Structure 1
Amino acid sequence: MRITAIRATPVAVPYRAEEVWAFGRRRGQVSVLIEVETDEGVTGLGEAAAYPSADIVLAVLRSIEPLVLGEDPFAVERLVRRIELVGTWHHVKATSPAIAAVEMACWDIAGKVCGQPLVNLLGGRFRDRVDCFYYVARGEPEQVAAEARLAVKSGFSTCYLKVGSDDPRADVERVEALRDGAGPDARLRVDANEAWAPGTAVRVIGELARFGLELVEQPVSGRDLAEMAYVRGRIDVPLLANEASWTRFDQLAVIRAGAADALSVDNQLDGGLLNLKRSAGIAEAAGLPVVKHSLGELGVALAAAVHAIAATPNFTYANQAYGALLADDVTVGFGGGIDAYDQGCVPVPTGPGLGVTLDAERVARYAELYREEGAAFTFSDPAALTRSHALPKF
């Protein structure tokens, strides 16, 4: 069997509430769906988050096409090493989502040919369903509390909220509202996206700790591991590395520096599902749990991640997913909004390969939306563009 073509379709799917982070906002998810075709008529599905943009993902796909066409989709290790080393793509992190989408599609092909769900090819089921957190859209305190109540009512055990506001006092008010809405038993996680200096982080996290936080994600720069270790040693809330933890090489450095209590891992940021498994293995050897990070994903990428997480023991926390924000999806009977989750969990698909099928009508609709309004779906904020930002904020 040989790969004969790669077809790419950018789509834009709206959120039901805007995603707001420390330096901007976005109104929906842009992903590049890919279909890898073979000379035996089997087609594999993949998905790349539009990071840092759909144009860059498409450019990378065009650039690696000569390295992929004619190759055996079963030879995943060989194919990825060919892209990374012969194509020299191992030097550039921003190319990873496109490479990961090709690798994902090859795994889909392998599972379809074998007649097995992907989880069985990645080690077999350690768990039957994958726990995900409820992404609470950042807003006024009363809106945050209402979203938290909806999360608990919908069966989610963990709520996630972006902090790193222009005024740290607003973060305290929102997290208090989050706890009030979620109740005493829910697990709460906050993410500052590197917005704070070390002293600010220690002070603000100290104020937030009374709300019983499960984890605080990347409170300070991910580029200074000594700074992270300093903060970690002065707070009572476990620290989750994210921007510091994008590849398995970064994760090894975080572990050596003693800079985090848990690590984010992401197959799209590190070029594939095999590397996700490697990241988890490195963390397990260090005695650390891992959490699946997401740049935003639709049903194809969610299914791929669920297969890998289900086959890997140390995913012990709720993982990042976008179901609480997405208004729709592009797959048949999988992914999409909050109704796709069962008590906050995603069941492992049982069909061969990824176990998902594209909905042609919705793909066409959201491809058209991307063509018409795609630029409006990127991380942007007219108000943010009029200000001069610094990192950290405080």
Structure 2
Amino acid sequence: MRITAIEATPVAVPFRTDEVWAFGRRRGQVVVLVEVHTDEGMTGIGEAAAYPSTEVVQAALGALEPLVVGEDPRDIERLTKRVEVVGTWHHMRQNSPALAAVDMACWDIVGKVCGQPLVTLFGGRFREWVGFFYYVPGGTPEEAASQAAEGADLGFSTFYLKVGSSRPGDDIDRVAAVREAVGPDAGIRVDANEAWSSGTAIRVLRAMWEYGLELAEQPVSGRNLAEMAYVRGRIDTPLLANEASWTRYDQIEVIRYGAADVVSVDNQMDGGLLNLKRSAGICDAAGLPVVKHSLGELGVGLAAALHVMAATPNFVLANQAYSSLLADDVIIEPHVYTEGHLPAPGGPGLGVTLDREKVGRYADDFARDPGGYAFHDRRRAAEPTPLPRI
């Protein structure tokens, strides 16, 4: 069996409500769907987050194609090394989602050839259900409380809020409002996306302590692990590394510095599903739990990650996904949460099938407005954003 072509289709799917963070907002999710075709008629599907942009992903896929066409899609380690070494992608970061999508499609083919779901190939089911948090998109304290209450009614028990606003008091008020809305036992996780100085992070997180935070995600720069370790030693809330934890090589450094209590891992950020499994294994050896990060995905990418998470012991906390924000999806049977949990699909390979009508519809939507779901607020694009916020 040999790869004959890579087909890429950008799609844009709207959110139910805007995603808001410290530096902007977006109203929907753009991904590049990838289909890897073979000379035996077998096709695998994958998905790349449009990170840092759709144009970058498409260019990376174009550069990838000559390196993988003619290769056996079942020889994933060989294929990946060919890209990293012959293709000189060994220092990749912004190219990772493109390689991750091709990797994902090849694993889909392997599972289909074996007649097995990927969870079996990645070690078998360690758990039947994988937990996820509910994304509270942003807004006023009242709006955040309303969104969190909606998630609680759906059965979620962990709630994720973006913080790092220009007025830290606003963040504290939003956390307080969410705690009031979800009750004393729910987990609340905050993510500043590197917005704070170490002093601000310590001061604000201490003020939030009374509201029982589960985790504080990347409160300070991920490029200064000594600063992260300094902050970690001065707060009671456990610290989650994200921007500091792009690849498995970064995770080794996070562990070396003692910079986090929990580590974020992501196949899209590190080029493939096997690397996601490796990342979790590195952290497990260091005695650390991991959570799955998301650059934003639809049902294909979520299915792929679910197989690995269900087969890996130290995914013990709620993970990140965008499906609770999405207004629609591009697979025939979208993922449905039960009490904030999802099972790994049971069919061969990824176990999901593209809904061709929806793929066509959302591909047309992207073509009509390619920049419409970009991750910035166009009204604020010209404003300077000095960091850190003090």
Q: TM-score, normalised by structure 1?
A: 0.98
Task: List structure 1 segments (4+ residues) > 4 angstroms apart after TM superposition.
Answer: none
1:99 aligns with 99
1:147 and 1:181 in contact (8 A); partners too? no
Q: Which of the numbers 361, 365, 386 marks the counterpart of 2:357?
A: 361
What is the identity, as a one-letter code, of the residue corresponding to 1:136? V
- After TM superposition, the structure 1 = structure 2 runs for residues 239-318 of structure 1, keeping only pairs within 5 Å, are 239-318=239-318
Distance of 2:272 and 2:258 partners within structure 1: 26
Q: Which residue of 2 aligns with 1:188?
A: 188
Matches within 5 A, 1:74-89: 74-89=74-89
Secondary structure of residue in 1 paired with 2:6? strand
Q: Measure the CA separation in 2 of the matches of 1:299 and 1:78.
A: 27
Given that 1:136 and 1:324 are in contact with CA atoms closer than 8 Å, whether structure 2 keeps it comes out as no
Alignment of 1:196-215 (within 5 A): 196-215=196-215
Deviations 1:70-110 (A, max 9, x none): 10111000000100111011212000000000000000000
Q: In 2, distance between residues paired with 1:110 and 1:128?
A: 22
**Mapped partners of 1:166, 1:367: distance in 2:** 36
Q: CA RMSD in A?
A: 0.7
Extract unaligned runs of 5+ from structure 1. none
Name the SS for the 1:161 alignment partner: strand
Q: How is 1:335-354 mapped onto 2 (pairs within 5 angstroms)?
A: 335=335, 340-354=336-350
Aligned length: 390
C-alpha distance in 1 between matches for 2:67 and 2:148: 47
Query: How far 1:210 sits from its partner (Å)?
Result: 0.7
Q: Does 1:382 align with 2:378?
A: yes
- Tell me whether 14-23 or 215-224 shows the greater mean CA deviation: 14-23
Contact 2:299 2:323 in 1 (8 A): no
Shift of 1:23: 1.0
**2:325 — aligned with what?**
325
2:32 is aligned to: 32
Counterpart of 1:369, as a letter, is: D
Distance, in Å, in 2 between the alignment partners of 1:221 and 1:214 is: 20
Alignment match, 1:391: 387
- Listed one character per residue, the Cα deviations across residues 44-95 of structure 1 (whole Å, up to 9, x for unaligned) are 0000000000111010000010110010111000000100111011212000
Distance 1:138 1:216 in 2: 16
Q: Distance in 2 between matches of 1:393 and 1:25?
A: 18
Instruction: Look up the match of 2:171.
Output: 171
- Paired position in structure 2 for 1:153: 153
Q: Percent identity?
A: 66
Which deviations, in whole Å up to 9, do the C-alpha atoms of 1:105-164 show, x marking residues without a partner?
A: 000000001100010111111011210110111011111111111111101110000000
- Checking the alignment, whether the CA contact within 8 Å between 2:310 and 2:343 is kept in structure 1 is no
> Which residue of structure 2 lines up, in the alignment, with residue 67 of structure 1?
67
Find the aligned partners of 2:34 and 2:372 in 1 and give their Cα distance.
Answer: 22
Structure 2: gaps of 5 or more residues: none
Secondary structure in 2 matching 1:333:
coil
Task: Quote the Cα distance in structure 2 between the aligned partners of 1:299 and 1:177.
Answer: 31
Distance 1:325 1:177 in 2: 20
